[in-house]
Amino acid sequence: MIDRDRLGALLRRERAAFADRNPRSAAEYARAGHLFGRVPMTWMNKNAAGFPLYLATARGATLTDVDGHEYVDLCLGDTAAMAGHAPAPVAAAVQARFADGACAMLPTPDAAWVGEELTRRFGVSEWSFALSATDANRWAIRLLRAVTGRPKILFNSYCYHGSVDESLIVTGGDGPRSRDGNVGAPCDVTLTSRVAEFNDLEGLARELAHGDVAAVVMEPALTNIGIVLPEPGYLDGVRELTRRHGTYLVNDETHTFSAGPGGATRRWGLRPDVVTIGKAIGGGIPAAAYGISREIAERAAGMRDLDLVDMGGVGGTLAGNALSVAAARATLEHVLTDEAFARMEALAVRFADGVQRVIDAHALPWSVSRLGARVEYRFANPAPRTGTESAANADPDLEDYLHVYLANRGILLTPFHNMALMSPDTTAQQVDLHETVFEAAVSELQRA
Ligand code: PMP
């Protein structure tokens, strides 16, 4: 059991130490009065210490802040830097491309290479680009509504697919409802969406039986409410049910890409109709993509009344720009390779084993889940089976304490998560340092 008074005192102590250690970051934050919420984007106020660290440099899996501290970066931009920060092949490709122009509204040969490579990795046959995973999902959703003529999209409760309006739905005792805090919803979310629990085929079948669901958009494992892994048979069941009900299946591989070179889709032999992906494929430059089956491409192309070219809702002047696509090519060709994933996964196993050792040594009721190069621990054992179960086990104070404690000793975890990701540059020493500091954080908490 966690002693809540002790936790509160330790959290206050660590926050005070953070403030003392980081005067320059504090001053930058204090003077950013013309930024909404004092930050470049309001989610940057999600930090355990009261103000964010300000970045100086990030290379490989090491980051420095403006106060001169060095960190082992296990956050890696919440997957945007899974390739490591500033990987040399991407830096070279981006510099060369930018010197010759980036945004000309004309294709470059890199795009066809990237499309072919994404098909080799993820199976689906035709690709289009976006600059964020949110936008890749948004466009996939529009397209699938158009070709099916059905109004609704189904999501798993406590999923996250970016700021996609349709996805902000959760199950609830009184039926489906909007996620708490949903900012400016355009309409009642139940008009556009249906929801099921992850790992619940009965619930999914019940929702799909309405016959109005264009697509199920899902992560093959939930990664934004801890990692919730699929139970045996669940993903096969999803595929079978979606086929039976004429509903398309979209795998959002933005985070589950950690499972391997072709994400969870290839690792687990999945057969989605659509794959969406963002963040890591650009190696640090905004890039995202959505791939569709030939059948969907042909259906869409055959619909003469769809405006796929001008103002019909197809968007993104900068989508597929030469710089973004050059970055994606360099990342996939030279950095996030099959060999790199093997190394990253071995480190993730080492990381997870270390966390488990600490949990066991202190007999904590916590669990560790791993998806390839990605590891997350949750304050529940056994590991939650659904998003709702996982949400119910959140402990914001405990999470903040561990985050600040680690940050004060040179280790960054992902805000919003207890997540650690391995890059091709992460080292065993970095992973072991985490275990030592994590053990110390837990020991202090447990001390009588
Ligand atoms: N899909 C998934 C699975 C994600 O985790 C996220 C962001 N965490 C997104 C989409 C949205 O990515 P972005 O914010 O880069 O648009």
Handedness of CA 315, 316, 321, 325 (dihedral sign): negative
Per domain, the residue ranges of the chain are 4-82+338-446, 88-335
Is 212's pLDDT higher than 90?
Answer: yes
In this structure, the residue with its CA closest to atom 4 of ligand 1 is 161
Q: Does domain 88-335 match CATH 3.30.420.10?
A: no
Q: What is the CATH number of domain 4-82+338-446?
A: 3.90.1150.10
Chain segment 382-400, per-residue pLDDT in tens: 999 999 999 999 999 999 9
CB neighbour list of residue 393: distance below 8 Å, 6 or more residues apart: 226, 378, 379, 380, 384
User: Could you tell me how far CA 426 lies from the centroid of its own chain?
Assistant: 19
The whole-number average pLDDT for the span 270-295 is 98
Query: Strand pairing of 70-73 and 411-412?
Result: parallel
> Which among 161, 198, 228, 324 is the best mutation to test ligand 1's pocket, defined by most ligand atoms within 8 Å of the CB?
161
Average pLDDT, the chain: 97
Q: Which of 120-129, 171-180, 231-240, 326-335 has the lowest mean pLDDT?
A: 171-180
Reduced 3-state DSSP string for 322-364 = HHHHHHHHHHHHHHCCHHHHHHHHHHHHHHHHHHHHHHHHCCC
CA 445 – CA 434 distance, rounded (Å):
17
What pLDDT was estimated at residue 383?
95
Residue minimizing CA distance to atom 14 of ligand 1: 162
ipTM of the complex: 0.99
pTM above 0.90, yes or no: yes
Q: How remote is the CA of residue 320 from the centroid of ligand 1, in Å?
A: 18
- Whether the predicted pLDDT of 268 surpasses 70: yes
Sort 45 into a burial class: Cβ within 10 Å, 0-12 / 13-18 / 19+.
middle
Ligand 1 centroid – CA 416 distance (Å): 13
Q: Which residues contact 302 (CB under 8 A, 6 or more apart)?
A: none
Cβ contact 422:377 at 8 Å: no
pLDDT of residue 318 exceeding 70, the answer is yes
Instruction: Compute, in angstroms, the gap from residue 118 CA to the centroid of ligand 1.
Output: 18
Sign of CA dihedral 349, 369, 137, 163: negative
With the most atoms of ligand 1 within 8 angstroms of its CB, the residue from 255, 265, 324 to mutate is 255
Q: How many residues does the chain have?
A: 448
pLDDT digits (tens, 9 = 90+) for 98-152: 999 999 999 999 999 999 999 999 999 999 999 999 999 999 999 999 999 999 9
The residue whose CA has the least distance to atom 1 of ligand 1 is 161
**Phi-psi region for residue 211, left (φ > 0), alpha (ψ -120 to 50) or beta?**
left
By most ligand atoms within 8 Å of CB, the mutation choice from 138, 155, 160 for ligand 1 is 160
Residue 160 CA to ligand 1 centre (angstroms): 7
Which of 134, 156, 167, 374 has the most ligand 1 atoms within 8 A of CB, as the residue to mutate?
134
- What is the 164 CA–ligand 1 centroid distance (Å)? 10
Phi, psi of 155 (to 5 degrees): -125, 160
Residue 60 has pLDDT above 70, yes or no: yes
The band of 448, judged by pLDDT with boundaries at 50, 70 and 90, is: low
Q: pLDDT by residue (tens digit) across 172-194?
A: 888 999 999 999 999 999 999 99
Using CB distances shorter than 6 Å, the residues near ligand 1 are: 78, 132-134, 160-162, 219, 224, 252, 254-255, 278-279
- Nearby residues of 199 by Cβ (< 8 Å), 6 or more positions away: 228, 230, 231, 234, 385, 386
Q: What is the mean pLDDT of residues 150-160?
A: 98
- Is it true that 4-82+338-446 and 88-335 share their CATH fold? no
What would the mean pLDDT of 279-298 be, rounded to a whole number?
98
Q: CB neighbours of 195 closer than 8 A, spacing ≥ 6?
A: 154, 155, 156, 157, 169, 170, 171, 176, 207
Model confidence over 72-108: pLDDT tens digits?
Answer: 999 999 999 999 999 999 999 999 999 999 999 999 9
Instruction: Check if the beta carbon of residue 224 is closer than 8 Å to that of residue 255.
Output: yes
Q: What is the DSSP letter of 230?
A: P
10 C-alpha to center of ligand 1: Å?
33
State whether residue 238 is helix, strand or coil: helix
CA 26-30-33 angle, 5° bins: 150
Structure tokens at 89: 């092949």
Distance CA 273, CA 258 (A): 20
If you write DSSP's letter for every residue of 129-198 in order, what string do you get?
A: EESSHHHHHHHHHHHHHHHH---EEEEETT---SS-GGG-EE--TTS-EEPTT--S-SS-HHHHEEEE-T
Ligand 1 centroid to Cα of residue 339, in Å, is 25
Q: Please identify, by atom number, the ligand 1 atom nearest to the C-alpha of residue 256.
A: 3
For residue 315, the model assigns a pLDDT of 77
State what percent of residues in the chain have pLDDT above 90.
Answer: 96
- Read off the pLDDT of residues 406-447 as tens digits, 9 standing for 90 and up: 999 999 999 988 999 999 999 999 999 999 999 999 999 998
